Structure 1
Amino acid sequence: MTGETARGLLRDAGTTVAAAVATALGTLALVPVFTDGDWLPPVLAAVVAVAAGGLLLRVGGAALAGDRAAPGWWTALVAVAVPFGQLVVLACVLTALFAPEQAWGGWLPTGGSLADLGTVMAEGTVELAEQSTPALPLTGLVTLTTLLAGLIAVVVDLVAVGARQPALAGLGLLVLFCVPVSTVTGSIGVLPVAAPAAGLALLLFADQHRRLGRRAPEGRRPLLGAGTLTAVRTGAVAVVLGLVVGAVVPTLTEGTFSGGFGRGGGGGSTGTALDPAAALQGQLTLDEPVDLLQVNASVPDPGYLRVVALDVYDAAEGWTMGNLDGETAVADEAELANLPGRRGGRPVDALVTALGHEDRFLPLLYAPQTVDVAEPEQWRFDPGSGTVFGRDVSTAGQTWTVAAVEPRPTPEELAAAGPLPPELPLVQRYTALPDLDPSVDELVATLTAGAQTPYERVQAVYGHFTDPDSDYEYSLSTAPGTSGDDLADFLRLRQGYCEQYAGAMAALVRAAGVPARVVLGYTPGTSQPDGSRLVTSDDAHAWVEVYFDDLGWVPYDPTPIDTDRAVELPWAPRPQDLEVDPRTDPIPAPLPAPTPQGPQQQPVPQDVPLPQTAPEQAGSWAPVLRGAGVVLAVLALAGAPAGLRVLQRRRRLATGSPAALWDELAATALDLGRTADPARTPRQVAEQLTEAAEPGGGAHRQHRRQVPASGVAEAVTRLARAEEAASYARPGSVPAVGPELRADLATARRGLLAAAPRGARLRALLWPPSLLGGLRDALARPRWGRRTALRN
């Protein structure tokens, strides 16, 4: 390998590292797209693997070309092979992280593993349609994100290194930057703009360094390379512009992946579905009720049929549903929603038949343990909300069975539940509120004054809605408010239907510091002569769930409804004089329906660790560990040649013969770009090595560090004489090698390495040619002393 080739490789290596770091910085633009950072380790593993693969392929191509100038066809072949090889490496990374079961060694793709990977990516496209930002880092979404980052890393490397246009490669970072701009609702913050800007600055630095470095005189290069100050100034301007733009970008029009489930659609226009974006009022105001479900339960008084939980509150948009974790099919788990802690429950089994019901959400009893439904792989379970939802399936014409354990906490157990730590993700998620009207905050402070426990605070809020003296009335027709705040208007006018009662109580409970959410579903319906229960559209209902430490989610129903429809809750009794039949109320004027999830002031993690899902939390480290394993594997692969070279050196030293030491010195010279000439004797070779190690000597003198050569010539000469003596002496007459000769080898190697160009030293470390040369020439060449010498 010529000196110019070595210098080119050194420049390419620097540009490769710059491209990889810039791409990694660009991926930080995706931080606001996800609820947490579980997506980041696989993405960084893909970027590192692509960079390492490109570097090894380029160094290997140059090493195979030898010391001759590479022909044009070989250069073109390497240029094509590098991105192709990087794509293969990316496929191996994706396989190791997301589909290792059928792969060779857990990382080398096979037909089966590629099919598994395709299935995971297909799941990701579905999750892309279901999630709104910030999205849960589900496996499918993370796989697609890793693929996107890996492909961008390949393109950036190809343009920056292959086409030698690092500045132009910055366009690849624009793709990553556009993701949060086009999907995140609300402010994206500074990091998604500043990080890609820093990556662009690094690429500009690499571009300046590469272009101006070739023009600078050899003896007058700055410490950090040519063009350093210009590159630093340009990069600083890019970062500053990024920070300025970061303050402006949040004002641009933004969107979501697809709006998630909050956009509705899944049910008909006849009120046969409880879609989270459809007004519950629409079910209760039909001219004639629609028969929806037939329930055959193992007990005469089953509880609520839960459908969906609404956990995101916005003052303007009301209550909406957050993202659902769709990675678990109902057939995957032996028990879906275990009750936490010490709470006991009542086992209830039910056979549910859809009559006129058509929805993508499956009505279920509380705390379902198992669900038996047609196409179970298409029905997914979200452990955080206890919701079962379908993918490309609905409840129309379906019959399903559910085995559940209905929660039955005692008032004493609820009273003993202490406050939860405020830093707990569950608390942060389910107490999150926007700024409320001052009248609402004042009401909460008045109601909870003197309350010592969460149960006392919840009971105070619940009592406010159920106390006859509060003068709340159930009505499907309400007078319009005047404050512009629906919550404040409802609390002032004190007239509304179940969704308004539940939404108001949940907001007040959150304001009191206790986790709460709104649940949509159905009351148990009316008993039939055959012992079953008939659920109609009149049974559509909304209530509240409150979370208590070590007890889990406990239902509360603040709405004054008829006792025939109400569910008995011993811990939250209702006054008997509030019996009202909403079906006799007048038909109301249209009210605004719940809408898709709006911007949140401070998005909080969606995959909240509930007590009953602690084992799943531990499993969330699996992608991180796999990603770290892949990174370590890539680093090990990159360092394999250097490791093999070290083992080869130790084996020769352990042999202890003059020939082995001379072979090691020859291998060092070969690694540094000096090839063998069979016409020279060991003494002639020693002279050439001495000249190469002298300060300023040899053809590359202008590139060498100025180091003293005292002792190098004597060490090389003694090694050459020992090799001659061993080669021409009678068998058995060669004395054993002492520590002095081994010290001479160390001195000679240090001198050669110190005098070699930087590019040669880098090549000798990453891809030592002596490994290939030893395999190629082992059968053909005799030992040095009769056949080899070094030439420039």
Structure 2
Amino acid sequence: MSGTDTAAPTRRRRAQTVPTARAWADVAVLLGLTSLGIIGFAPSFGGAAFLVAGVGGMLIAAATAVTSTLWRLTALPTAAIALFAYLLAGPAFAVPALAFLGFLPTLQGLANVAIGSVYGWADIVTLGTPVGAPVYIGVVPYAASWIVTLVAVLLAVRWLPFRPRTSWRLALVALGPVALYLAAILLGTDEAFQAGVRGVVFAVILLVWLGWRAPAGGVAAGSTAALRSRKLAGTTVLVVVAVVAGGAAGALLAPDAEQRFVLRDEITPPFDPLDYPSPLAGFRYFSKQVTDDVLLEVDGIRPGDRLRMAVLDSYSGTLWNVAGADTSVDGSGSFALVGRSLPAPPLATTEPREPITVTVVGYDDVWVPGVGYPDDFQLLGETAERSDDLRYNAGTGSLVLTSGLAAGDAYQLDPAVQIAPALEDLDGVPVATVELPPVESVPDIVAATAQDLAADAVDPITQLESIRGALVRDGFFSRGRASDSVPSRAGHGADRMIELLERPQMVGDEEQYASAFALMARSLGYPARVVMGFAPDVPEGAESVAVTGDDVSAWVEVAFDGVGWVAFEPTPDETDIPQDQEPAPQSQPQPQVRQPPTADNPEDELLSPVELDELEDDEREVPFVVPGWVVTLALSILIPLALVLLPLLIVAGLKARRARRRRHQAEGHHRVAGAWEEVVDRYAELGFAVPERVTRPRAASHLVEQAADLPTAADAARLTGLATIADDAVFSGRLVAFDESDEVWRSALDIVSRTEEGLPRSRRILSRYRIRRAARAASSARRTPRRRSR
């Protein structure tokens, strides 16, 4: 008896720890349903990497659930082991490119698994498909299958065996795979992956499992042969009906691709202004290329009103731009989705004005010009359909339409204009405490000049007025047109600021003077920002004004405590620029030198005739006759070779001509820009996806992410530096020597060559037959502000 009593608890304990055959069957069904859900991610990702991640997460979770059951672990240790296994195996399955030897975890791989678990869900519905970057995006199917499988298998092996097997309990266990199936649809695209087949198979497996594994009439499914036969017959009928009815219903009732509901069609990605070139970089486009073109027609504008287009408070030494999200969360680069009513500015003393209406004629950009800080904004006509594309920054009063304005668009806004205080009202008023991004790479002469000009002033307004007055008084205005008496170089980088302040005569336009004044104000610790827009000449009583490219302007705003952002105009009036008169050099007489007589050498004396020996007919050799089979064999080999090699030679010649034209441009910055264009074209020909209409650094970032899996990823990472060099050469305005541009070309070609070594042979061969001529960011930048490269 004692032996029997001892063995009984052991058998009961083993029954509680080792899954039964029925539990293993339940686990197999749940894994099958989960696998069908994982396959639904195919339209979002493409390839097979997502499948490896999804199946890996499913297997890790199932193994964890079974192991915790065998060890009889409670909830807390089970959760700890599951999380540890999730992180440990995550790099190998989800981000193998960041795993050591492809399967061992690394710190970078663990970090990406953690980031992808949190942010990957939002990214997958805002990125274009197939989603290949960022690298952590592969964590989404891994995490989804892991959490679904972990919960479902734990319930199947630790809850179902000890509860009455009712249909509702089985359905509760199956909720996880059903949720994963639906999530794959919602996170996918308009084109489903084998929707009919997957749906019918999923429904059949689920219905058969629910019907077969649940008890019938209070008797277990396998208790009698008769009951088993009835269930088998019922299951067969159910499968046939499900396949026929489900297939027919899917073919007849399935919505079109355009009518499918997926989250990526409902969620608009956040607007990032850094994806677009700095508006101030295109100042000369308006002032020189579209000078007389009508851009906007404005009704309701008053004399003295200015149309604000963009507010820029970040300076990199090359460009003024908006502050990125990594610098300031609530700064000038933060744009929120808004409705018709717009939030009030956080720092401004405004007065309401009558509504104005703007009709777009020749303007083409995402920035929406407006007066002051709009209280109410409404798109008119057909443009109203794009109201969801509107974004607003309350701190700067800047509006953007992510889909862009084009000819024929119209909008109406109710402006609230900053009250312009008199100078004497600002005496003794301190500047406001405003968090602005730091300015970088500012020349020392800027701060030194500001200190000299403001030395005799004591409070902010007098110091700022001293600087502004000196620029207006001592500077001269020129937009670098052919009609200007003195040329004025474009740009507002550090070298242009040095040139403006060090030359005996300051020469420039609003771009240079606004940049210099803002940098001087910032050097004194005052919150200053540059505003770009239009300042049309509005006659008294005019009902409508046409805004042209010649009306483009830039000014500076400084924040005063309790007042708001006060505008300053540091640009001098359009006056004649005095010329340095230098006497013309006098010609110096040269001594006469007797020249030697020319030698008469008739052509017939310089040439010696050559006589050819004539061969007798009988001395001539009979020419060799090629056999016909040799000709046939040669043609059978040469023709296929020609079909393969001739296109290769033609494409190679065109590529060489393309590179030669770019490398031998007349101006140095064009040669450097050509090197970048050559790299982008070469990468596209190698099969990389090159994003269109983005800045060079952003394009470089996309290419580096695509090359992250290559053995030569470190060489591809040099693209970021090349993009920075190209931007500096194009926008800084400095002279680029031939040696410098030649070195950039050598570096560019070396990057392409090294990246090419890490690619499969098939991609390298195919690239020899491709030629791309679409990388024209620099040239398009000279035509359209939206397409200029930064």
Q: Do they superpose with TM above 0.5?
A: no
Higher relative contact order by CA 8 Å / sep ≥ 6: 1 or 2?
1
Q: TM-score range by the shorter chain?
A: 0.3 to 0.5
TM-score by length of 2: 0.41
TM-score by length of 1: 0.41
